[in-house]
Amino acid sequence: MTHADVAVYGGVPGGITAAVAAAREGAAVLDEAGVWVHDVQHDRRKPDAIAISSHFIDSHHVQRLAVSPTEFVNEGRIWRIGRAYQIPYRSLIPKRGQCTNLIVPVAASFTHVAFCTYRLESTWMTAGQAAGVAAVQVARDGTAVQDLDVAELQARLSDQGQIIDFVPGQPERFPGGPGWREF
């Protein structure tokens, strides 16, 4: 999408508008494993990868406490350096036995903190591309979404230019620098 497209459409076509100001997430599908903070920070390679994300963890304050009449302390903010990680196909589909024809690129199975890294529309677009290609594949094959041939999906996405693996020769994480530390 170009800047001209954004100007013509007044934003991203089909872009999401929250019903509540500052709402970042809602109900999510529950898959067999879910994506946890450990997945986005340490266990970043997934055999069923369908996209890449690298946004940092940025969970906003939970509450603000008055410690004196003129001083407040914010509590509950989480801010971590981002690293590229692979988004697994299984995070877009429900558990086997719950539903066989549902693929959800936005309400994916991420924990609250891991969702901070997934919530950007650019990431949802790549997940949506994967969901669309997967939907065509399962409809063509007459299979449940849980039985999709992931290798075929990955090949189709790669043929379409979707990045599903780390770029060879590029760092898989941000290098150290002022204020940087490993978590």
Residue 5 in any domain: the answer is no
Q: Average pLDDT for residues 118-138, to the nearest whole number?
A: 93
* Enclosing domain of residue 72: 23-159
Q: What's the alpha-carbon Rg for the chain, to the nearest Å?
A: 19
* Calpha distance 15→6 (Å, rounded): 11
The secondary structure element, H or E, covering residue 40 is: helix 37-41
* Calpha distance 106→27 (Å, rounded): 10
Which range scores top for mean pLDDT: 13-27, 79-93, 134-148?
134-148
Q: Report the pLDDT value the prediction gives residue 142, as an integer from 0 to 100.
A: 97
Residue 16 in any domain: the answer is no
With bands split at pLDDT 50, 70 and 90, how would you rate the model's confidence at 128? very high
The secondary structure element, H or E, covering residue 73 is: strand 71-75
28-54 core/surface letters (b: 16 or more CB in 10 A; e: else): bbebeebbebebbbeebebebbbbbbb
Residue 175 in any domain: the answer is no
What is the average pLDDT score of the chain? 79
Q: Report the pLDDT value the prediction gives residue 183, as an integer from 0 to 100.
A: 45
pTM of the model: 0.72
Residue 28 in any domain: the answer is yes
Residue 126 in any domain: the answer is yes
Count the Cβ atoms, other than its own, within 10 Å of residue 92.
26
Residue 14 corresponds to which amino acid? G
| 38 within 8 A of 152, measured Cβ to Cβ | no
For the stretch 42-52, pLDDT in tens is 888 899 999 99
Number of domains in the chain: 1
With bands split at pLDDT 50, 70 and 90, how would you rate the model's confidence at 15? low
Residue 6 in any domain: the answer is no
Count the Cβ atoms, other than its own, within 10 Å of residue 83.
20
